[in-house]
Structure 1
């Protein structure tokens, strides 16, 4: 992680991602803080704005970073990204194929799951998105285990049965399903992230005749609670539906 990367939180729980550098100034609506003060306080410390507003200083977690990093595309929500890692059954040293890269949120979850000895091959056809994704990944993740490819997966030349998992976050994943299926090792998983059920049905239809078995379709719930002793209740603003996760398992070629 970039040593100058910090997350500041105010008294109301609002979070701000800051890349501290000499001479820089963080602007809060309740005053300013020199970046030198943030660097001096360090993770777990506290700083005050010139108007007296107290802010806590942290190293951002992966979830916090993905939610607050710069975006060129809407990132895969952390609750879904972590579920995809579990559904793909990833472990250190594995190889995983991703398309598309988007802002790099899911890429970070995949890269950390397979570890420095593993590999993520990530494909993105839009130059602006890939540039931002690469910057986002490099700022948070210090290991060189992600290969970024500026092309659509349809154009890629993939080795057969080379990947332990395939993660698809595309508007029309059924177009790349035949190629992705052949690149997946037998008895391993392909997981697609799709916002609406019409896409799910189209993807399942597109899998007919391919060496893929539909394992399950699910949504990931996430319900936060507000605790203000002695009162506890669900937060009024909740994260609702974000996407359907569609899980396929690869048959062994006959």
Structure 2
């Protein structure tokens, strides 16, 4: 027993050390007598302090303590220290735009059905997020693919004598070059990448800071940040890769004019890849369906979900279909479709706009002036607010003649 207890004690000591807060950690403080009084710290720095109406709290007093330990302010008020979760981090950190709430972000990630693998023969996962915003979904996506990538190489150490010398006059330049080369090689070898793009440099920079600030940037290396128009970025990626072949496993669009980017997104999406669009209004989802039908974009609508306020809903399904009423169809000649001409599964034109073939409605062609939409919640009453997700899948490029 003594032989076994020594290693066990070492493991326990190591665990206890790793469970204490260190410099650059972000933690949550809750007042002991008022749990609703929450403070999210900046990255811990021994020289800094938190000033509140109940006294100051030194970062140095937090460093070295563990989760649920108490720290006392200068006025004698006790606060309990907590490890910050991802959900708390994206919801409580300073924001420039409204974030995608954790429940909604988790739903979106689950809809992509990601299965990352670090195996050499595993297919590379590339996910596009257009509309970086606060970086909340970026972090959730990066966490989902994190297992596919090896650890980011650490920067080369710099000695004290080199820190104050210029790069051109010391070996620090060589160290920096080696670090850059190692990082570049690591990025090229990644098995999973999140490409996130925002039209605003300000929002993109802030989101990058948010991603890098969570747990010492553990998920930051999986993400490439871009600034600009998403359609132009996709075109530039095709040029950079010297190929017109699709390269995206999945894509998410959270943009004011989503329908303007559907064609570009579809061109970069691999067959059977998932394209999820977020819009505040159901009519914007309808605009996307009309665009797909009108321009024969090789996408079909898989499902439509409504999100609740502040992430309160797991996604209520909506019945959203382009249809032609029976009364209107009576005046039209019946077209007999040969069995050999029918598409299988959900890649047919009819299946791309309906999820309920039992309905006594005839699907309309896009050029028919009499076509309209069924647009209603599938069950229960409508939840106010939130937004809508349109989940599309990529057909074969030749699936829509």
| Equivalent residue, structure 2, for 1:197 | 282
Q: How much has 1:161 moved relative to structure 2?
A: 2.0
Provide the rounded CA distance (Å) in 1 between the counterparts of 2:384 and 2:48: 37
CA RMSD of aligned residues (A): 2.2
Provide the rounded CA distance (Å) in 2 between the counterparts of 1:137 and 1:100: 15
Q: How much has 1:75 moved relative to structure 2?
A: 1.2
TM-score by length of 2: 0.56
1 or 2, which has the higher helix percentage?
Answer: 2
CA separation of 1:187/1:196 partners in 2, compared to 1, >3 Å: closer, same or farther? same
Deviates more, 1:209-218 or 1:3-12: 3-12
Asked if 1 retains the 8 angstrom alpha-carbon contact of 2:138 and 2:196, the reply is yes
Deviates more, 1:5-14 or 1:176-185: 5-14
2:239 paired with 1:218: no
TM-score by length of 1: 0.86
| Equivalent residue, structure 1, for 2:97 | 73
Paired residues, number = 240
| Equivalent residue, structure 2, for 1:62 | 86
Asked if 1 retains the 8 angstrom alpha-carbon contact of 2:196 and 2:224, the reply is yes
CA separation of 1:26/1:42 partners in 2, compared to 1, >3 Å: closer, same or farther? farther
Provide the rounded CA distance (Å) in 2 between the counterparts of 1:77 and 1:190: 19
Provide the rounded CA distance (Å) in 2 between the counterparts of 1:203 and 1:252: 19
SS in 2 for 1:192: strand
SS in 2 for 1:90: coil
Asked if 2 retains the 8 angstrom alpha-carbon contact of 1:194 and 1:245, the reply is yes
Asked if 2 retains the 8 angstrom alpha-carbon contact of 1:95 and 1:114, the reply is no
| Equivalent residue, structure 1, for 2:223 | 146
Whose radius of gyration is greater, 1 or 2? 2
Runs (5+) with no aligned partner, structure 2: 1-21, 118-124, 150-190, 239-244, 314-382
Show structure 1 runs of 4+ deviating over 6 A. none
Runs (5+) with no aligned partner, structure 1: 225-238
SS in 2 for 1:70: coil
Asked if 2 retains the 8 angstrom alpha-carbon contact of 1:6 and 1:43, the reply is no
Q: How much has 1:123 moved relative to structure 2?
A: 1.0
